[in-house]
Amino acid sequence: MSAYQVTQGQTFPLGPSIHPDGINFAVVSEDASQLYLCLFDEHNQELESIPFIAKHRGIWHMLVLGLKAGQRYGIRAEGPFEPEKQLVFNPAKLLIDPYAKALTDKLVWHPDQAAITEQGVIQAQDSAHCVPKCLAIEPKAQATRPARVNVASHERSLYELHVKGFTQQLDIDEQHKGKYLGVISRPAIAHLQSLNITTIQLMPCFTFMTERHLHQLDLNNYWGYNPINFFTPEPSYAENDAVVEFQAMIDGLREAGFEVILDVVYNHTAESELDQSCVSFRGLDNGRYYRHQAGQYLNYTGCGNCFDTFNPASIRLICDSMRYWVDVMGVDGFRFDLGVDLGRTDHDFSANAPLLQAILQDPILSQTCLVMEPWDIGPNGYQVGQFPKGFLECNDKYRDSVKRFWHGDSGMIAEFATRLLGSRDCFHKGHKSALNSVNYITYHDGFTLEDLVSYEARHNLANMEDNRDGHGDNISQNFGVEGETQDPEILALRLNQKICFLATLLLSQGTPHLLGGDELSHSQQGNNNAYCQDNDITWLNWSKASQSQILKDTISQLMALRKAYPILAEVHLEDDALFQHLPADQVTWLNENSDTMSHGDWHTPDRHFIALLLTTANLSSRLWLIFYNQAAPINLPFPSLSDQDQEVKAEVLFQSPNVQLTEKHVTCSGASVALVRL
């Protein structure tokens, strides 16, 4: 007989909720025949297994009297074991409550976690010894939390930051290295503020697990795109209390003037394939939480499973998770990994998918910054520009076109111009703003900016996959030497190329995204898929960034110009119905004679020059943007301004190293970018 008295309790809220006389537990499991609440002591010894006494609409619930906040617990589930029907209930497996807010430890893969063997029979080994215990806590937001930072859409700039990699080698107190609190250390904040950016995009902070194959190779999942719970912050980034320290990090970033969005993974979980870990969702309701067809898992994510975001329980779980991270943990928005999975119905993508609509109708979530990675590897998995207009979208067409232009590829002018002006082939006028396009050149996957100008091929042997992993077409160049060099001429060429990349990014219409560490010339030694490198390959090196001040100043200067001249981020055109009540700006494309581009100019395959004149509606600003990528010098005459009788005067607002201004010309020699006010 149980030492605890229980009552039916309540179905809401899901997860543990603290009451004056005990703790209420509510857990979703449609198909289980019985759930058990397993209580553990501080030594993780199982004390009791209490059967849930009530079930309503698929939710098991009860109030356990006498329990106190902080109680350690797990769930066990009984039910049919019929793998061919996606039913793998196995009471020998201890399960993490999907709504748990904290865990005792980090989850580490162990063979005893499997519910089913490779031969398809039940695996009877108890898994409690290798599964972290849930902590029954109910975190609240601090009453004295700093106010949110309101960022204007046209000023927003994203900076992608990995908590551990950003701080592991920073000159801060040892206990803060690699931790949430290290992100808000004085040197870290000073560095971030020096860049003049608005928004920190944190790489995944949901608690995650290293995959079985990496565990067997003695490698770690470093990026964190392998979650096991959608509410619990990653404990390895904490010194003591992950919940409190994550909240402190967000509050510190707010106080420093930053908006903060969190990279979230709702498309799959760390349970992977059916015969691997059974530690939460699989053991509670495998057939409902994961997508399957004809008795087989669907794997549109490439990670072993695919979370069924068309299932009502999953939709509720994800929206509850998002509200928790906003209301309680303090984030200002989300970047969604493999977002097409979130927009799938039974199997196909739809912009009207219930999860996407649930997010956009929510009075809290709809007001946050929402950034979508608009693809997965399933059928019709490439959906750039097809998400509802409430979502910003990562634009890989921008990345590839800009890289090809600066790589010197022929026939790129029309494509490059399209990307500069907001990728209107994807984000159509009258329907979406150019700001919906999240422009980037580097991301966590792929080459860093330093490697983009230092390597022509990937060098991923450290991943122990025989250099087969990672993208093979990097559109990169090394300027004569593969990898590191001390040749001053090559270093100068590489620096100039990095400045041209950054200037292009920050002078393009849309929302710019920067990869943290590019301003430090961080190299991953040519590794373009460093997801499993938790070491010097990925940790930012703050001591050898000889060019860092130049790159930091470049970013800061260009960010300031974007804020001073909003037309650089979003131009209001007469034929764009989104801006029909606003005075119209003007865009004029110019050739190397500063004349309007002709049909022939647009279709000259060996042209490596484009310029445009942006004119504000009130004529207060005329901005001449120049992009040139040839070795031979060129003198560009100032464009004529038909409404001005006086001689045109020019002020250079930004110039890359190969640009010079004379009385009547701008001279470019080699790869060049300039922004001139006329």
Two structure tokens written together for 166: 């950003």
Q: By three-state DSSP, how is residue 188 classified?
A: helix
Two structure tokens written together for 373: 């990675």
Please say if 373 is a catalytic residue.
Answer: yes
Minimal CA–CA distance to 132: which of 248, 283, 280, 353? 280
**278: which residues sit within 8 A by CB, 6+ positions away?**
88, 90, 93, 95, 113, 114, 115, 116, 127, 271
Q: Give the separation between CA 133 and CA 100, rounded to whole angstroms.
A: 9
Two structure tokens written together for 251: 């509050």
Q: Give the separation between CA 195 and CA 173, rounded to whole angstroms.
A: 23
Instruction: Note the residue count of the chain.
Output: 678
131-159 burial by CB neighbour count: b if 16+ within 10 A, else e?
bbbbbbbebeeeeeeeeebebeebebbbb
Q: Residue holding tokens 């581009």?
A: 597
Q: Which of 234, 341, 373, 393 is catalytic?
A: 373
Q: Which amino acid is it at 129?
A: H
Reduced 3-state DSSP string for 302-366: CCCCCECCCCHHHHHHHHHHHHHHHHCCCCCEEEECCHHHHHECCCCECCCCHHHHHHHHCCCHH
Minimal CA–CA distance to 531: which of 440, 473, 446? 446
Minimal CA–CA distance to 5: which of 70, 74, 78, 62? 62
Q: Which amino acid is it at 463?
A: N
Q: Give the separation between CA 127 and CA 124, rounded to whole angstroms.
A: 9
User: Cα angle at 469 between 161 and 226, to 5 degrees?
Assistant: 50
Residue 215: left if φ>0, alpha if ψ -120 to 50, beta else—which one? Answer: alpha
Q: Give the separation between CA 538 and CA 164, rounded to whole angstroms.
A: 9
Q: Give the separation between CA 370 and CA 341, rounded to whole angstroms.
A: 15
Please say if 337 is a catalytic residue.
Answer: yes
Q: Give the separation between CA 101 and CA 152, rounded to whole angstroms.
A: 32
Q: Give the separation between CA 578 and CA 432, rounded to whole angstroms.
A: 7
Q: Is 677 exposed, middle or buried (0-12, 13-18, 19+ CB in 10 A)?
A: middle
**297: which residues sit within 8 A by CB, 6+ positions away?**
273, 274, 290, 291, 304, 305, 306
Q: Which of 337, 341, 393, 451 is catalytic?
A: 337
Give how far Cα 110 sits from Cα of 82, 230, 269, 271, 287, Å: 23, 21, 16, 11, 23
Give how far Cα 378 sits from Cα of 143, 335, 340, 344, Å: 44, 20, 9, 10
Q: Look at the alpha carbons of 123, 124, 125, 129 in this order and tell me if their dihedral is positive or negative.
A: positive
Minimal CA–CA distance to 347: which of 386, 395, 393, 311? 311
Q: Give the separation between CA 534 and CA 546, rounded to whole angstroms.
A: 24
Residues labelled as active-site residues:
337, 373
